[in-house]
Structure 1
């Protein structure tokens, strides 16, 4: 405990770090306050709880979605736009060229992402107003309400995007990820209280077991997020004047889960399509009714089986488009590096690709298990709200953002010659000698 207090004092003794932490807390407070401001013209007492896909979005937005807040769409349109641009940079040569233009290219992509965010917000806002706000909840002229609400929702998303960028620039951690994480964590205290009260004194032991199970699940996700396969790289010695450069051994850290949370997001998006398509023919086909009811139930074995298979496939797909063995091999060759026992060039690329395939397979299975754990937790008797913290996108985002933030704080401490936050062990990425960024 004494060491922990000393670490906190060291953190706030660094002026830049102290200012960044205060800025981050201030921006997050603004975001949370905005999530409670209801759209003008809405009677919040007439609003119900978000269900299905809307319930999932409500988890990411900290309840702003179900409250018809001015931040009801939050940062989600920006994330959708970012994903679209990321895929375009892989598939379309024009965007590939733009990405290679350096800082000017990144600025163009950022500007396109912002414009696309507005377009997506307008589309999602229209659907949101039609699907989630009942007519009896609107207390002003419906036409005027929809026009005003669309403007406010779009402005709210742009403001959230601005908050995220400000957190990244003047705060600590990745701003967009921090906004999502704070929305998820905001629900945790309430779900804990609800779960404890639901179990009561008679179920106190069961509640303790649930907390212990959650602890081990979180530790497993941390292991999945941090696990890397280090590939040794040797650099040739170079003599410049009277000094010898190179000759040291470094490592390429290939992550077991290089794709992060993206496979779950892609799979989750597609999992809503069967039920939506089946609803079109539900009046004329018994098969459509069966498909619709099956894939609307996140607890059904059919839903979870298809969900897990899609996550495994998307993990390989996203790893293939984000980690390029040919580029890694070319960079190594250009810098005079080589993997001991492997020839530079194509053999190195094939060697790295082979390692990626071997570590991605178990990583994809583990990711699929994490994704469907909330369903098993619900079947085991955990309330549906609390079970969301046992896995899925929510847990992966929380763990990833917290580890990234701790890594940045640790870097500040070590730069100022303070002892790190962890007495033993290291946060991955802090002090590894990576041969390729």
Structure 2
């Protein structure tokens, strides 16, 4: 592995991409530490620490930036919510479907709409946060306002948070285009990594208070984390290989020989996307509750307790199927095989092949999605029963960390192998 790291810095292009990505990450963390003007950050930190629940959930996925209402205090969630909405709209609106099929130009149009939708959601959330924090809050037995509201101060905070979201979205695109790729995933990865030490400390402290033994909390944390990491890697590498036979073809004066290969269908095709999408959907009622106070109770119940586990599981299963069919369309794949003279042995080309692909996807996605939900929720359940009040940290965070790390390693490995170097996974 040390030799692989040396190889990364030997390749000038890859070294430049890695250093550029690290620079963007540094700017992101600096922006996450600069508070918006006119905010009582100490009171806000106490409110999040005492209240937990919804605010703790949002603070966790913003990398702690919400605890002092920093420039990047909204985190990456508005963009994820906008991406989910666009994915669903593409499936039901013909015009968006046409854009998707146009290729690169169509994807640029969809990306542009996603940007505008992200800014709209960021503006709504900023207004909601300013309105909520301008009210009197009961903190430590005292009534305190986090923001001493004036119209000018409110506008400045709203514009700061919205502009921060736009800048963060630009950071993600820069990492994708000029860095090592997976820009938004890298930013989520960094946000979670920044909060993991704090969450482990809270877990150990709560366990010590409950059982009087700090070693007990450390052992539970280490064992559960290692178990989830191993399960994530095993689930990520699992696949169903469908044999594909290529027929002999005559093109001009040349005859291409047929051969046998396989089409790999991963058990978890969608990776950590269902967890990210499910977390964003659960968080969405919280944003609405900032404008509709009647939804506050529903949003709170969705972020903790048994209802959280049930809804979260169902959302993970739904998004696993939803995203798998977006990535791997059985009819499109069947048409591609038929076009290039390939077929699955024992299955007629065309529609029968598409139906066969659909059955295989349904069979392997169900256990894959259930396993994904179990891995995401098991540590949260265990931590909840072993003394911690904070549900957001658990399998979801570890899965995102491991999943993004694996995907990044694969991308770096592919670029190294293009230049005849060995990668991490070889």
Q: TM-score range by the shorter chain?
A: 0.7 to 0.9
CA distance in 1, matches of 2:387, 2:107: 45
Contact 1:37 1:70 in 2 (8 A): yes
Contact 1:121 1:154 in 2 (8 A): yes
What residue is the counterpart of 1:162 in the other structure?
A: 170
What residue is the counterpart of 1:65 in the other structure?
A: 66
Q: CA deviation at 1:102?
A: 2.0
Contact 1:233 1:251 in 2 (8 A): yes
Q: TM-score, normalised by structure 2?
A: 0.86
Aligned mate of 1:247, from 252, 255, 258: 258
Asked if 1:308 corresponds to 2:309, the answer is no
Aligned mate of 2:420, from 409, 417, 420: 417
What residue is the counterpart of 2:121 in the other structure?
A: 120
Asked if 1:383 corresponds to 2:388, the answer is yes
CA distance in 2, matches of 1:228, 1:165: 30
Give the SS at the match of 1:233: strand
Q: TM-score, normalised by structure 1?
A: 0.84
Alignment of 1:88-107 (within 5 A): 88-107=89-108
Q: CA deviation at 1:131?
A: 2.5
State the superposition RMSD in angstroms: 3.0
Q: CA deviation at 1:134?
A: 5.0
CA distance in 2, matches of 1:55, 1:29: 24
Contact 1:279 1:292 in 2 (8 A): no
What residue is the counterpart of 1:430 in the other structure?
A: none
Residue correspondences, number:
409
Q: CA deviation at 1:114?
A: 1.5
Task: Structure 1: give runs of 5+ residues left out of the alignment.
Answer: 283-288, 424-437
Q: CA deviation at 1:56?
A: 1.5
Deviations 1:256-275 (A, max 9, x none): 12333444455445557599
Contact 1:312 1:368 in 2 (8 A): yes
Asked if 1:219 corresponds to 2:227, the answer is no
Residue 113 to residue 281, structure 1, CA distance change in 2 (3 Å): closer
Residue 309 to residue 380, structure 1, CA distance change in 2 (3 Å): same
Aligned mate of 1:17, from 14, 17, 23: 14
Contact 2:79 2:118 in 1 (8 A): yes
Contact 1:44 1:137 in 2 (8 A): no
Contact 1:268 1:307 in 2 (8 A): yes
CA distance in 2, matches of 1:344, 1:236: 12
Which stretch shifts more, 37-46 or 73-82?
A: 73-82
CA distance in 2, matches of 1:131, 1:377: 33
CA distance in 1, matches of 2:308, 2:412: 40
Task: Structure 2: give runs of 5+ residues left out of the alignment.
Answer: 137-143
